[in-house]
Amino acid sequence: MRQIEHKEAYAIVTKYLENQVDILNLKNFRKMKRFKNRKVENFYKFTVDLLCLDLVFDLNSDDRVKNVYWSASMPPPGAGIDGVSMRFKIYIQYTGEE
């Protein structure tokens, strides 16, 4: 299995963001070495203020992506869109295939 570099993984995600960068507010894009106490390869994570299902479906349909997961999380005080909104962490597992 080929290792997906950070720049390549980020390019795959931003390809599907199109004009939504300001709306979704993508941040904290980083590689993960462990997930649920297991060692993982080609696993990246980022945070968005809003969840766009089109983005999730588009990423999941890309041949370089094995799976996409997401979960809601609480933003730090004063950082949410409004007083009750959640943020979403999106996890992408890449195939590592050419």
Q: Are 13 and 46 in contact (CB under 8 A)?
A: yes
* 84 pLDDT above the threshold of 80: no
Full-model pTM: 0.84
* 98 pLDDT above the threshold of 80: no
Q: What is the pLDDT of residue 80?
A: 62
Integer angstrom CA distances of residue 44 from 26, 67, 82, 83? 13, 11, 27, 28
Q: What is the pLDDT of residues 29-76, one digit of tens each?
A: 999 888 777 888 899 999 998 888 889 999 999 999 999 999 988 777
DSSP at 98 = -
Tell me the average pLDDT of the chain. 86
